[in-house]
Amino acid sequence: MYIIPIIIAAVAFLISLFLTKVVIIFCKKYSFYDSTNARKIHTGNIPRLGGVAFVLSFFAALVVYSLVFKGIPVKHSVPLIVSGSIIFFFCILDDFLDIRAVIKLCVQIIAVTIVVLNGFRFESICGWKLPLWFSYLLTFGWCLGLINAYNLIDGLDSLCGFLSLSVFMTIGITCVVMSDMNGFICIFLATAILGFLVFNMPPAKIFMGDCGSQFLGFMIAVTPLSINIEKIEFNKFLLVFLLSSIPVFDTIATIWRRIRDHRSVMAPDRLHLHHKLLNLGLSIKGTLVVIALIQCGICISAALSMFMPEKFGTVILILALMFVTLAFSMLHFIHWNVLKKHNQLGVPVPDLTK
């Protein structure tokens, strides 16, 4: 029963691996390198557009599985492909043309509208059935928020890719175990990401670009909404919120920080989660390991909650969210004190690029 989708997942990995290498060669030939700004820590010419490789690999796997093997209902795959393609191709243009933020937002709204009108939405929270208007509002806000949250967290080698991979594997494997074949949507994308990560591990040979990070944020927001498992439905919102809590909390902190400092919300800086860990003296690999360990704990908690009775699952998810909130608060406090001491002593913070 699972042989065909497992083979498709393996092929998606191999195609992604091959295409990533092709994209690296292409970008070097035509000098398509990732630009530097106040948010980024890399130096030198690093090829971008790595998202092209894993997105195309995923689309190929999804089309084959849904149309050829009838593994996933077309009503689920078509809206995902259409909306995902809008995000993907527009972001490729943005990687070259630096399109204005308001136009980006309009395109994101169009893509989200397509999936929401095709039934992808939150219908309840912990058993409370949402009014239709609030259901649409919550889903719109959630999707738009995650698209941009995963774009903002993509500032360290492998970080966005690993966070996304862990979310898709957690949801995908759990759903397949519970006999929901829509879980393979997540597994196909996870294996495609894995092929890209081979070249994105520190020191990265290629970056995914906005076409990759925004696409992943969109898919993480939308794919759980296609899951139709009664046991998961009760805690679905808490579940996806927990799984995405690292980029979500980082984005909330970023918006608050920029509003507080009277700066544009779109202005880049070096005060994201990974920057703070780097400022505390961790290496790039060390920072990635710390965040990865926290994310693994989050994924284990999320997976356990899906196999528990509904109320016990709610408790596990809330406790895990409290832990993440506490961890963020402690890091912020420690980082603030370290910077304060550095400023008092006139000692520079560690070099972020090492």
pLDDT in tens, 190-246: 999 999 999 999 989 999 989 999 999 999 999 988 887 777 888 999 999 999 999
Q: Return d(Cα 24, Cα 289) in angstroms, integer.
A: 26
Q: With 50 as the cut, is the pLDDT of residue 354 above it?
A: no
> What are 301's two structure tokens?
């908690």
Q: Which domain holds residue 170?
A: 3-345
Q: Return d(Cα 277, Cα 334) in angstroms, integer.
A: 10
> What are 108's two structure tokens?
């994101």
> Would you say residue 350 lies in a domain?
no
How many C-beta atoms surround the C-beta of residue 221 within 10 A?
23
At 315 the pLDDT is 95
Q: Which residues contact 120 (CB under 8 A, 6 or more apart)?
A: 79, 139, 222, 225, 226
At 20 the pLDDT is 97
> Would you say residue 354 lies in a domain?
no
Q: With 70 as the cut, is the pLDDT of residue 37 above it?
A: no
Rounded to the nearest 5°, which phi and psi values hold at 64?
-60, -45
Residue 96 backbone zone (phi > 0: left; psi -120 to 50: alpha; other: beta): alpha
In eight-state DSSP terms, residue 100 is: -
- Spatial contact of 37 and 268, defined as CB atoms under 8 Å apart: yes
Q: With 60 as the cut, is the pLDDT of residue 350 above it?
A: no
> Would you say residue 180 lies in a domain?
yes
> Would you say residue 352 lies in a domain?
no
At 337 the pLDDT is 85
At 258 the pLDDT is 85
Task: pLDDT band for 353, please (50, 70, 90 cuts).
Answer: very low
Task: pLDDT band for 43, please (50, 70, 90 cuts).
Answer: low
At 40 the pLDDT is 59
At 33 the pLDDT is 84
**Mean pLDDT in residue range 89-102:** 86
Query: What does the pLDDT look like over 52-63, one tens digit per residue?
Result: 999 999 999 988
Q: With 80 as the cut, is the pLDDT of residue 111 above it?
A: yes
> Would you say residue 114 lies in a domain?
yes
Rounded to the nearest 5°, which phi and psi values hold at 128?
-85, 115
- Spatial contact of 332 and 253, defined as CB atoms under 8 Å apart: yes
- Omega of the bond prior to 73 within 30 degrees of 0, cis? no
> Would you say residue 236 lies in a domain?
yes
**Mean pLDDT in residue range 73-84:** 82
Query: In terms of pLDDT, which residue wins out, 293 or 182?
Result: 293
> Would you say residue 209 lies in a domain?
yes
**Mean pLDDT in residue range 92-97:** 83
Query: Among 37-46, 174-183, 274-283, 311-320, where is mean pLDDT lowest?
Result: 37-46
> Would you say residue 70 lies in a domain?
yes
* Number of domains observed in the structure of the chain: 1
- pTM attached to this predicted model: 0.92
Task: pLDDT band for 279, please (50, 70, 90 cuts).
Answer: confident
**Mean pLDDT in residue range 269-275:** 84
Task: pLDDT band for 83, please (50, 70, 90 cuts).
Answer: very high
